[in-house]
């Protein structure tokens, strides 16, 4: 089976459509949270993904935008975008985001937004944090998002190997335990402005990372028209 694994769409419909088109036919879609927040199309992204996703977990922005999370820790731009999204979200979108779980487990795969230890909040940038999380999931594989950077940790009892995947790089995950981040669809932060995702092949036990260009200008224009913060508009151009 081939699964499209994506995260951090952040209400960027143009980026989401580009990813769905680029990935083509898959057997299922797994979403690692933050469907909304930052971008101009929260309802459109929820409605687009809702019938497609086989599994979807909640992100911190999903919770914040439905008032389920205190946003005083967000920076000023994120707070403004969150308040805009709270006003824009339809009752149906809110109801969908409200029911998203923090963790999902299917067979050999655990899904969480931030980490299996603290699913909503923890950022997994470093190998030590990844290693500590080994005790918090039981499956061989855990997919996370939240950092907006594609990254893999291969974990043994004694060592943690950190792998920064290359675009179009295919990696075998047949040995060891893994924490794998597909990067962000709607607001990449690794210096590559293209939307990021991966395809998991559960028969071959491989993950293949992909980047796809989308109309950044289209999203930026809609953000500006919506009155979203200029810094959030500009960062899409730089992948940061
Ligand atoms: Zn995010």
Which residue stretches of 167-208 are H helix? none
- Residue 198: what pLDDT? 98
105, containing H or E segment? strand 103-106
Which residue stretches of 89-135 are H helix? 91-98, 127-133
CA of 147 to the centre of ligand 1 (A): 7
- Residue 158: what pLDDT? 79
Q: Is residue 131 helix, strand or coil? A: helix
CA of 174 to the centre of ligand 1 (A): 28
CA of 61 to the centre of ligand 1 (A): 7
CA of 155 to the centre of ligand 1 (A): 24
CA of 45 to the centre of ligand 1 (A): 14
Query: For residues 170 and 6, what is the distance between their CA atoms, to the nearest angstrom?
Result: 16
CA of 34 to the centre of ligand 1 (A): 5
- Residue 157: what pLDDT? 72
CA of 146 to the centre of ligand 1 (A): 5
What does pTM read for this prediction? 0.97
CA of 158 to the centre of ligand 1 (A): 30
- Closest Cα partner for 75 from 63, 61, 88, 89? 61
CA of 202 to the centre of ligand 1 (A): 26
Low-confidence ranges of the chain (pLDDT < 70): none
The secondary structure of the chain in percent helix, strand, coil, rounded to multiples of 5, reads 30, 25, 45
52 contacts: CB under 8 Å, gap ≥ 6: 20, 29
């Amino acid at each position: 089976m081939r699964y499209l694994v994506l995260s951090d769409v952040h209400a960027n419909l143009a980026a989401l459509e580009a990813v769905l088109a680029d990935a083509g036919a898959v057997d299922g879609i797994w979403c690692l949270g933050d469907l909304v927040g930052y971008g101009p199309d929260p309802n459109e992204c929820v409605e687009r993904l809702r019938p497609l996703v086989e599994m979807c977990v909640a992100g911190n922005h999903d919770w914040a935008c439905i008032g389920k999370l205190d946003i005083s820790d967000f920076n000023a731009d994120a707070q403004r975008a969150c308040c805009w999204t709270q006003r824009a979200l339809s009752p149906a979108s809110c109801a969908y985001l409200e029911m998203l779980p923090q963790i999902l487990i299917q067979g050999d795969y655990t899904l969480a937004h931030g980490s299996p230890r603290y699913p909503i909040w923890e950022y997994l940038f470093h190998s030590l944090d990844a290693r500590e999380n080994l005790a918090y999931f039981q499956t061989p594989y855990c997919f996370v998002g939240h950092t907006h950077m594609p990254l893999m940790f291969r974990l043994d009892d004694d060592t943690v190997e950190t792998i920064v995947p290359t675009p179009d790089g295919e990696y075998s995950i047949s040995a060891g335990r893994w924490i794998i981040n597909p990067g962000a669809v709607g607001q990449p932060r690794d210096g590559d402005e293209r939307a990021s995702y991966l395809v998991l092949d559960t028969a071959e036990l491989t993950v293949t990372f992909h980047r796809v260009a989308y109309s950044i200008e289209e999203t930026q224009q809609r953000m500006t028209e919506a009155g979203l913060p200029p810094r959030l508009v500009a960062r899409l151009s730089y992948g940061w």
